[in-house]
A and B are shown apart, each in its own frame.
Chain A
């Protein structure tokens, strides 16, 4: 039964640190549905609203039971008689009652022998009042069975004088609770008064105080089950059948997932607007559009329409009991429980503290497709049907629309973030000030991205832009190259992103994207893009050099060395002088020696001098690096990035005045070179000219508001320039204000 897969949900549903069988929800599901293998067998014990014959061949009667189940006429009003959906619901209900019998059996103090014996007895000699003698447990068992049987013919239950049973408080409570629950189930077609009367009769016979019902925690393993049943049974007074309640809740649950505003909004309200929330909202919009799209794929439109009607009807139930249903609360409670358990541990798989929504969301997407598959398979084996198709199709589409986001989402180490959040809240580190929280959170998220990119072990994760007008462009690569040539870096980035989304194996698209990001002063994204380019084309020299440069900028010595050596290895001319065995254990000195040799071999090759210059930067031999770049510039005076490299080297060796001249040359050649503008700002700041530096940072940011480094440096310069009045504009990234205040 596919529903069971959803509820038991596998590992993602499990409470961490426990097996899924001890997961309360799993227990609930097991008790409700029972093992699918015994379903057929158990169906026969299900009490039905039709009087049961007492023939000995009771167990042979299998065919009519499904049709005779209470509430099945309700399905038929919504679904055609042969619809799988109806079949599904009916099977579901019978399973409910089935598990219910399990629960009933359980209270009979198992020592009592096989719980079915009474059925055999009854088949042999039908009677409504069993003999009430023998040991207490036997008496109780018989008595309870007589209660059950009274339900079969719908007649009032007769009280009986019982011998002293010696029931403990726990036993009484157990019987009280279970009998009330079951009575409501058995007498589905009877009035509430009748049910209460039945239960009271039973309880008074057993000398159990019926008023104490529901007080205090319930004993036994199935407490959550009890809660749920209490809830669903009381709900049933307003609805046609308990299983409908379940389905309705499920439908409602789905509807809630499909409502982007409610979710994203409340999140935003709680935690302040930030990139994450808006991304989430956007994804929800995508989801919704996915929902709409699925309509097109369905062959059986009539069935779809009916299912939709069912879902709508159920979702429109505004009964507060529905809205506050125990089941929904239970799911939430569970995830909150995880928050506490995992507070001090990072468990990305379970997403501890990010609150209900994150784990629910993740769960939904981890499990959703699997469930849909299972469901589809089950349904298809019984013959294709719109219901299953719709589900499978919808899940598939959501999957594809969502894949990218989900990947990104999981790669961001939400677990870490969630943990951080939980910790900070518990520490009270961030009081009520939403701003500081949001900032710290933003910062932390950035760090996460940086950390991911920086850690050599894990690949840099490329983060795509939100709204990309170039998606769907007929030739985004050409467009991107054109934009790049014009110096419109941020636009070029978008077009190139569209290209690599379209052709993920296009090394040139990734390479140019990486270059655009580097020039846009975003090394993290540059590295991420270049890694993809490197993957697609491992021997591309420009890619290797770029990776070497970016890692040098990020102070990643080992990684930088690896790529720079790779450049030499794959160079058609110098590859021969690079022994392949060296790449296993790279030492700076060896690599530098090889490059010096290469430069000696062909002093006219600017590229060798460039790589050598980068290499000297790595070892902070700035004078040698400057020399190498100057040599290269004689050969390639129009290379703006080379001028910038020279400037950066000079700046890092505290020759800021010279650096500014070099940057100026770069900017003459490429006016939109964001990195050079930002470097200008750094050089002014390092000379203590903070107000000047602010103007350059603002200029850089006006061209690329995503240059996080520049924002950080701008903030430092503003404080150093005693321009605290502008910090707010900086923190809110209000470029209009900043540009007006600091024109260049």
Chain B
């Protein structure tokens, strides 16, 4: 249930999870075939991070670290910055250059992490 500690990113990743079951989502899985792990910090990187695994091999979004081995790339964001990147407000390169996004793992996998992977939230 929603409370004040909930992350904005939760909403986007929840939507991502459902999105992967659609045709468009399946197309993404087919195209990428990679596993990303995303650590999201509410305020400051390294503190109270919540980990999501976006498995674009199986088409799943799960909470927690990837259990099937090593993810192709691991990202660390602050909550707000992840939302900006996922909604196209900030491009990942800029986020990286500014130190707002930390990357571990394969660079080529990381470069495929683009805003078009994510479904866009609609507004009421």
Contact = CB atoms under 8 A, between A and B. Distances in A.
B21 interface: yes
A555 B120 contact: no
Interface of A is mostly: helix
Interface in A126-147: none
Contacts of A654: 15, 18-19, 21-22, 119
Interface in B1-41: 1-4, 6, 8, 11-12, 14-15, 18-19, 21-24, 27
A720 B90 contact: no
Contacts of A715: 88
Interface stretch (B44-52, B79-87, B105-113): B79-87
A451 B23 CA distance: 34
A521 interface: yes
B2 A713 contact: no
B120 A443 contact: no
Given A454-B80, A687-B23, A715-B88, A557 B124 contact: no
Contact of A648 (B87, B94, B124): B124
A682 B120 contact: yes
A26 interface: no
A683 interface: yes
Nearest to A548: B124
Contact of A720 (B3, B6, B11, B116): B116
A451 B81 CA distance: 10
Nearest to B94: A440
B99 to A, nearest CB: 9
Contact of B22 (A619, A682, A687, A712): A687
Given A587-B3, A712-B87, A713-B88, A549 B94 contact: no
Nearest to A693: B120
A214 to B, nearest CB: 45
Given A447-B84, A654-B15, A588 B89 contact: no
Contacts of A686: 19, 22, 24, 119-120
Interface string A648-683: 110111101001000000000000000100110011
B18 A589 contact: no
A475 interface: no
A447 B89 contact: yes
A685 B123 contact: no
Nearest to B10: A620
Contacts of A446: 89
Nearest to A555: B8
Interface residues of A, number: 60
Given A555-B83, A654-B22, A443 B11 contact: no
Contact of B124 (A549, A558, A653, A719): A549
Contacts of B64: none
Contacts of B121: 553, 555, 652, 682
Contacts of B119: 654, 686
B114 to A, nearest CB: 8
Nearest to A615: B2
B122 A682 contact: yes
Contacts of A709: 87, 89, 123
B122 A651 contact: yes
A420 B2 CA distance: 34
Nearest to A430: B97
Given A652-B15, A716-B115, A451 B122 contact: no
A685 B87 CA distance: 12
* Prevailing SS type, chain B contact patch: loop
A675 B123 contact: yes
A446 B24 CA distance: 30
Contact of B11 (A420, A614, A620): A620
A445 interface: no
A323 B94 CA distance: 40
A232 interface: no
Contacts of B90: 443, 447
A429 B96 CA distance: 11
Interface in A436-486: 440, 443, 446-447, 450-451, 454
B4 A652 contact: no
Interface in A487-535: 521, 523
Contacts of B3: 557, 587-588
B88 A614 contact: no
Contacts of B88: 712-713, 715-716
A617 interface: yes
B123 A679 contact: yes
A99 interface: no
A5 B41 CA distance: 48
Contacts of B18: 653-654
A521 B116 contact: no
User: Which of B6, B88, B114, B120 neighbours the largest number of chain A CB atoms within 10 Å of its CB?
Assistant: B120
A654 B116 CA distance: 16
Contacts of B24: 686-688
A647 B122 contact: yes
Contact of A679 (B89, B114, B115, B122): B122
B102 to A, nearest CB: 16
A557 B89 contact: no
A644 interface: yes
Contacts of B116: 716-717, 719-720
A420 B84 CA distance: 17
Contact of B2 (A618, A641, A649): A618
A447 B70 CA distance: 34
B122 A659 contact: yes
B82 to A, nearest CB: 11
B10 to A, nearest CB: 8
A553 B97 contact: no
B124 A688 contact: no
A110 to B, nearest CB: 53
Given A553-B123, A614-B124, A644-B124, A558 B4 contact: yes
A420 B97 CA distance: 11
A620 B89 CA distance: 22
Contact of A617 (B23, B114, B124): B124
Contact of B123 (A523, A558, A618): A523
Nearest to B20: A654
Contacts of B22: 654, 656, 686-687
Interface in B40-80: 80
B108 to A, nearest CB: 18
Nearest to A450: B89
B15 A712 contact: no
A687 B28 CA distance: 11
B2 to A, nearest CB: 4
A614 B23 CA distance: 28
Contact of B122 (A557, A648, A712): A648
Contacts of A589: 1
Interface of A: 420, 424, 427, 429, 440, 443, 446-447, 450-451, 454, 521, 523, 549, 552-553, 555-558, 561, 586-589, 614, 617-620, 641, 644-645, 647-649, 651-654, 656, 659, 675, 678-679, 682-683, 685-688, 708-709, 712-713, 715-717, 719-720
13 contacts: A446-B89, A555-B121, A557-B8, A561-B2, A587-B3, A589-B1, A648-B123, A653-B18, A654-B15, A686-B120, A688-B23, A708-B89, A716-B120
Given A420-B98, A712-B88, 16 more contacts: A447-B84, A450-B89, A451-B80, A521-B123, A555-B8, A557-B8, A587-B3, A652-B122, A654-B119, A659-B122, A678-B123, A679-B122, A682-B121, A688-B27, A709-B89, A716-B115
Closest CB pairs A-B (n = 3)? A688-B24, A555-B8, A648-B122
